[in-house]
A and B are shown apart, each in its own frame.
Chain A
Amino acid sequence: MRVIVDLTRCQGYGQCAFLAPEVFAMRGEEALVYDPDADDAQREHVLRAAAACPVQAIHVEWMAIQHKGMRTAAARPPRGDDDGFRKTGHIVIVGASLAGGRAAGVLRREGFTGALTVIGDELYEPYDRPPLSKQVLAGRVPADHTLLPHLSEIEAEWLSGAPATGLDLVAKRVTLADGREVPFDRLLIATGARARPWPNEAEAALDGVLALRTMDEAIGLRECLAAGPRRVLVIGAGFTGSEVASVCRELDVPVTVVERGPAPLVGALGGVIGAVAADLQRAHGVDLRCGVTVEALEGDADGRFRSAQLSDGTTVEADVAIVALGAIRNVEWLEDSGLAAGVWGVACDAGCRAFDINGLVTDDVFVAGDVARFPHPIYSYQFMALEHWGNAVAQAEIAAHNMLSDQMHRWPHLSLPIFWSNQFGTNIKSVGVPTFADEVAIAHGSVAERRFVAVYGNQGRVTAAVTFDQAMWLEHYQHLIERAAPFPPASHTADRRGPMIPVPAEVPERIEATQVTVVVTGHDPAERRASLVRGNR
């Protein structure tokens, strides 16, 4: 039976691990791992676990609609939209992963009965990626257990193994690699991203040099780890690299992590919290080298990867090299389409409608997921592309809703970015944009114990929060961000182990923000709006 846990919602209560211990397990205090395709013999246990989840984050067989506004949609007045399109239109979704699959489900749920075509470049049914770098890599569950629940049962034409190669906005047609042309009335672009390859092609072709993004890549890497390599080299200490290093240590495989920046996770969390992540890695036996780059990968006569030359003149002997240098957005197929597509993604408005290169908003082309680049009012209307599971789901739902709604009934995608990672038995969660900050302070908990909440501020207002094994507090800070609450926040908390002292956040350079302060109101996406707050707060 298919199980999917919305780890964006999960707060680490552990009730599922009590009630279905063969399916759900806590690695450390709050890091949950689970088998997404549990044995049918566990059915009753899984039902108990799903019912007991205090935040109702466990979906069995079907993924429930996230948005409160959509769950109660039946009770809403009609949207006043074009009924003809709803009945007989043709929607094409390019991209058959989480966002594309989610949108397909929501379109049907919202009453779209016309033709629906979903185009994907991989041969698999849509699957869930986060487990690939965790329980799949650790060998706890097979890779094919990650298929998303019952997406293939949605009434749609699924074209798999068929990469899209072009888009003609005038003729309203998508071209596929095999020459087929698929016409559409409305289009959703959800082509996501792929792993950035090692730049030297010859070195990248060495046996044992791998990336990790797709199911095939996870299967290949799992085989390498199961073979018991002398050492694994991880190039890049972002989330994927850090999670791979964590699995290596779990399997007692020696691992060296090479990171160009001053610490792991700096690009996402800044240098202060990055330093905590560095301690975490070293405490678990990772050979972590920061401020260093890999200059060359070397192989033996059989073309097997054997060692790497680092910029500090040292050599790392290893059998496997994981290239974890981030992602490249899949936009090449849109090059001549006239859409505002580039290395940062496809630009769209808060309602997921794509912009053309003139900055004009299109009527019939929508974007969602990792490839979508949208303006967020909370962050000075900066265009952001978020590679987060929760963003893919939320944005796909809003895109699908808006594809079927007229002007007056569209929803803005205003949800704050939230992401999580499980590494070294620690659950790391983040809300807001930690790099949109000039200061950071430990609000409560203990950095030494690696159980704490860090709050980020920008020009005197709260912009983000990061927790290590303290996920239950995250929502509180989410509300502070949405209310543009002053930074540092109220210092008198129940857990006081010393004063809250803001320090520079050491975030990577970013474009200077303007002084506009915007707050988000409403819980329901149908009512959720941004409002401008003027004057001194």
Chain B
Amino acid sequence: MAPPSVFQRILDYSNRADPYPLYAELRKTPVRREEDGTYVVSGYEEIVSLLHDPCVSVGRPQPGEPQDAAKEPPSFIRLDPPEHDRLRRVAMRHFGPPHSPHRVDSLRPELLEIIMDLIDSMAGRTRIDIVDDIAYPFPVTVICRILGVPREDEAGFHDWADAVIESLDPREEGRQERLRRRENARVELHRYLGRIAAERRKNPGDDLISGLVADEGPDGAMSPTEVAANGTLLLIAGHETTVNLITNGMLTLLRHPELLDRLHHEPDLAIGLVEELLRYEPPVHLRSTRIALEDIKIGGITIPKGAPIVLALAAGSRDPEHVPDPDRFDPDRRPNQHLGFGGGIHYCFGAPLARLEAQIALTELARRLQNPRLVTDPPPYRPSPELRGPRHLLLDIDGVTQPAR
């Protein structure tokens, strides 16, 4: 048997804590063909080029995907134009500009309130888990409010969301079981959001789901199945990515204590810090939904028509051809152009919200945690190599400071 390729070693769970040296090795061949015919792209320029290439589709059939999946419409993350554009525009009407430009910015006081409450509730403890105590509950509470999903139902869909994320794993072993769990979760989530959508159709509120079912814009409303599929996407994405951004942020700060101290005194630092996190320690490492629709000449080789493409976004953001001294964490880096939220028409829908959430959470944690110390470094990681982040991040603290409210 041939030794495992660099990419296979990246997928191997034992390298989850520090895949970056392997990314550097991967980048030696910025567009690399795997034995199974998949092309793994790790150079910054090459990734950007493919993100903007109209001959690349996100409709790659996922290995082992059940045939009847085609009956339900996928969400816009898995659709090409024009369907993608229409659904994303309808969703955007209730989330951002041009129709709702103040939606995210106006959440800031509420975000601060939620994070303050979460930190308050840790009073008296000397050991905390950044994941379970802050990084998970914070964005979940926020996305539930935005979508209009009752927060108390969260216990139910927590497991479903987990199942969907764990299926984002190009490894062979355990694939059937992952897909079975995901399919089950998907059905449950669609059923759940379908119920909420039906209820909002009768009693609309000012939440996003009410907006989707009743939209009167030029593109019309989403159909009930479209609401279920896209609501599921926003719920899961709103859950499972920001948690990694905040957790990775705290981990990185604790590995660079001087920055933790600076953040305490310089609140503006959070802005550049979060950008640098998105570059240096991003929540989304790989995307593997793309496929070439034509022969594509790139990076000195040709990706043949029909070939699956994996974009190693996290490797691209550390490409020394693009950014000087890429392995140094530098929140003062300007300009800082990275692939943390992808690029092109599939650029992260919730990016502005994720940025604000991470800026606010990290600033308040830096202000209020007294003498935080990592309990284990590296922390234990979740299995997925695509959406990579710690399962837990245990800290010992001397306490929490009470803010002047």
Q: Could you tell me which A residues sit within 8 Å of B by CB distance?
A: 13-15, 17-21, 25-29, 44-45, 47-48, 51-52, 54-56, 64, 72, 75, 443-446, 451, 453, 472-473, 475-476, 479, 490, 492-495, 497, 523
Contact = CB atoms under 8 A, between A and B. Distances in A.
Interface string B75-110: 000001110010001000000111001101100000
Nearest to B324: A72
A52 B279 CA distance: 12
Interface of A is mostly: mixed
Contacts of A444: 54, 81
Contact of B97 (A26, A51, A56): A26
B80 A495 contact: yes
15 contacts: A17-B101, A19-B356, A20-B105, A21-B97, A25-B98, A29-B89, A47-B271, A52-B355, A54-B337, A54-B343, A444-B81, A475-B52, A490-B294, A494-B58, A523-B45
Given A15-B352, A51-B336, A492 B102 contact: no
Nearest to B59: A494
Contacts of B82: 445-446, 495, 497
Contact of A493 (B272, B293, B324, B359): B293
Given A19-B355, A494-B80, A29 B347 contact: no
Interface of B: 45, 48-49, 52-59, 80-82, 85, 89, 96-98, 101-102, 104-105, 268, 271-272, 274-275, 293-295, 305, 324, 334-337, 341, 343-345, 347, 351-352, 355-356, 359
The 10 closest A-B pairs by CB, nearest first: A18-B352, A494-B80, A56-B335, A495-B81, A493-B54, A17-B97, A26-B98, A21-B101, A26-B97, A494-B57
B317 to A, nearest CB: 12
Contacts of A492: 55, 293-294, 305
A28 B355 CA distance: 24
A45 B54 CA distance: 34
Contacts of B334: 64
Contact of A494 (B54, B335, B337): B54
A490 B53 CA distance: 11
Interface of B is mostly: loop
Contacts of A475: 48, 52
A486 to B, nearest CB: 12
Contact of A472 (B45, B274, B336, B344): B344
B97 A14 contact: yes
Contact of B336 (A17, A21, A56): A56
Contacts of B57: 494
A138 B148 CA distance: 38
Given A443-B54, A473-B54, A493-B293, A479 B101 contact: no
A472 B105 contact: no
A29 B81 CA distance: 15
B85 A18 contact: no
Contact of B81 (A21, A47, A494): A494
A45 B96 contact: no
A445 B55 contact: no
Contacts of B53: 476
Nearest to A32: B97
A21 B80 contact: no
Given A54-B343, A446-B82, A18 B101 contact: yes
